[in-house]
């Protein structure tokens, strides 16, 4: 269909144009009526005059959110405050919307998140919601562009696997012909195999699945993960790559759509790098001095992370986590027994993501399996890659939806997910 976009209308040309979009509103007077027409670039005022339209009476009874095309000419000196004004010569209804709408598109009524998600197709017609996903697209493009400039190769690894990435029971089991299989928690093991194969820098953008039974505003059971792995690197190299990836993504967004974000009330600033680093033991000592230290063997709670995070204005790293809080593939700190070359990226009390230097010696890796109560023989496909020349390597995995939620200040990660999958939602 040949058409013009609302944002590209130039009334000075005086030429005939054809628009296509949704009827956002309609106002009917005696011999003239007005449609507010919306496409993904903006809104326009369509002026309907009885003398110009043989089917005028039918058109003015059209329901809101119906899909139409309009052919006409732009008014050069319009006084319309809605947008460019088009005098309609022909209006065709492509699809008439049922009434009433299950969810308002322009009505100033706030709906709860479940109501919105149940009618997501209408919820995303609201500009303040659809722009979230334009943001995600832009920031992901910026991260991709940066990683490619750093000689990373984009790869695609299996999502149906024979064993858990990190052990444990947080897995979705699937029947794979005559075998039992799982939806992958992470591309971690395959990224490392590729490092052994000679791909010194790889990244992947793809779905990850966690069968955790929480149901919070920050967690999903299916999410989009941005993962990297880099050879001849340690956790410090990985942290530098992470902070620069995020900065580059934000720069891309601001170049691409800063004015649109501001118009929708979203404020975004380029984060200053490098991000501050604070050791896990320093965090523990800080909490202990206030009588808030975690119990032995426990992770930091949101309240404890809030105390730590209040010391920083933006992103910061917590480094050097204890071995008991990290997966089997995390490299122990050779200079600090019981701790690891690992990190979490935080914003206030919110964990953005985690990463680490990985174990690259097969003997140590087998020991780490056993320490975690896992059987090395269940991971032979992975261990084989370490027995024939594996370089030191490091990496991280970053959730796209969580990053979006944090940067835009959203209240719920489901707002940054087109069709969320959580503890209770499997449709739409």
> What is the residue-wise DSSP string for 142-196?
HHHHHHHHTT-EE----SEESS-SS-SS---EEEETTEEEEE-S-SHHHHHHHHH
In this prediction, residue 166 carries a pLDDT of 64
| Alpha carbons 56 and 66: distance in angstroms, whole number | 16
pLDDT, residue 167, reads: 61
State yes or no: pLDDT of 108 exceeds 80: no
CA angle at residue 314 from 309 to 319, to 5 degrees? Answer: 60
Among 23-27, 47-51, 73-77, 255-259, the least confident range:
73-77
106: helix, coil or strand? coil
Residue 107: pLDDT band (50, 70, 90) is: confident
Determine the pLDDT at residue 404: 97
Computed over every residue of the chain, the mean pLDDT equals 94
Q: Is 402 a catalytic residue?
A: yes
Domain over 6-95 is classified CATH 1.10.1040.10? no
393 tagged catalytic: no
Q: Which phi and psi angles does 219 have, rounded to 5°? A: -120, 145
Q: Find all residues with CB under 8 Å of 125, minimum gap 6, and list them.
A: 22, 38, 65, 105
3-class SS at 105?
Answer: coil
Q: Which of 38, 354, 401, 414 is catalytic?
A: 354
> Does residue 38 have a pLDDT over 80?
yes
Query: Which one is catalytic: 210, 247, 360, 368?
Result: 210
Residue 145 known to be catalytic: no
Query: How much is the average pLDDT of 402-423?
Result: 96
Active site residue 210: yes
Mean pLDDT of 101-113: 88
Tell me whether residue 219 is one of the annotated catalytic residues.
yes
Could you confirm whether 414 is annotated as catalytic? no
The class (CATH top level) of 121-416 is: alpha beta
Residue 248: other Cβ atoms inside 10 A: 22
Is residue 351 among the annotated active site residues?
yes
Mean pLDDT across the stretch 89-116? 92
pLDDT at position 9 over 70: yes
CB distance 389 to 360 below 8 Å: no
Residue 165 has pLDDT above 70, yes or no: no
pTM: 0.92
Domains in the chain: boundaries: 6-95, 121-416
Contact 182, 171 (CB under 8 A): yes
Catalytic residue among 120, 219, 423, 425: 219
């Amino acid at each position: 269909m040949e058409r013009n976009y609302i944002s590209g209308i130039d009334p000075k040309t005086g030429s005939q144009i054809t628009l296509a979009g949704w009827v956002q509103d309609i106002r009917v007077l005696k011999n003239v009526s007005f449609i507010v027409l919306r496409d993904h670039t903006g809104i326009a005022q369509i002026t309907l005059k009885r003398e110009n339209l043989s089917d005028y009476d039918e058109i003015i009874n059209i329901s809101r959110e119906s899909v139409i095309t309009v052919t006409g000419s732009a008014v050069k000196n319009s006084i319309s405050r809605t947008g460019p004004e088009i005098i309609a010569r022909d209006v065709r209804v492509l699809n008439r919307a049922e009434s009433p709408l299950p969810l308002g598109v322009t009505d100033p009524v706030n709906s709860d998140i479940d109501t919105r998600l149940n009618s997501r197709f209408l919820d995303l017609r609201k500009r303040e919601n659809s722009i979230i996903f334009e943001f995600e697209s832009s920031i992901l493009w910026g991260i991709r562009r940066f990683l490619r400039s750093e000689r990373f190769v984009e790869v695609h690894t299996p999502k149906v696997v024979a064993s858990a990435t990190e052990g444990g029971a947080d897995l979705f089991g699937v029947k794979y012909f005559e075998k039992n299989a799982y939806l992958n928690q992470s591309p971690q093991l395959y990224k490392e195999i590729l490092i052994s194969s000679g791909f010194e820098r790889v990244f992947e953008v793809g779905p990850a699945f966690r069968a955790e039974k929480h149901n919070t505003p920050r967690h999903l059971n299916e999410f989009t993960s941005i993962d990297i792995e880099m050879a001849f690197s340690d956790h410090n190299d990985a942290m530098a790559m992470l902070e620069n990836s995020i900065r580059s993504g934000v720069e891309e967004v601001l170049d691409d759509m800063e004015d649109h974000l501001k118009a929708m009330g979203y404020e975004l600033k380029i984060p200053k790098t490098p991000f501050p680093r604070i050791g896990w033991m320093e965090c523990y000592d800080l909490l202990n001095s206030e009588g808030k230290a975690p119990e032995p063997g426990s992770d930091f709670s949101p309240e404890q992370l809030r105390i730590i995070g209040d010391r920083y204005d933006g992103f910061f790293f917590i480094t050097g986590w204890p071995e008991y809080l990290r997966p089997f593939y995390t490299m122990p700190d050779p200079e600090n027994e019981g701790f690891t070359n690992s990190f979490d990226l935080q914003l206030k009390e919110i964990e953005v993501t985690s990463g680490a230097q990985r174990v690259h010696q097969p003997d140590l890796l087998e020991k780490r399996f056993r320490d975690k109560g896992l059987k090395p023989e269940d991971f032979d496909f992975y261990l084989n890659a370490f027995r024939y020349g594996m370089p030191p390597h490091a990496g991280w995995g970053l959730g796209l939806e969580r990053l979006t939620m944090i940067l835009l200040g959203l209240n719920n990660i489901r707002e940054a997910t087109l069709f969320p999958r959580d503890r209770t939602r499997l449709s739409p």
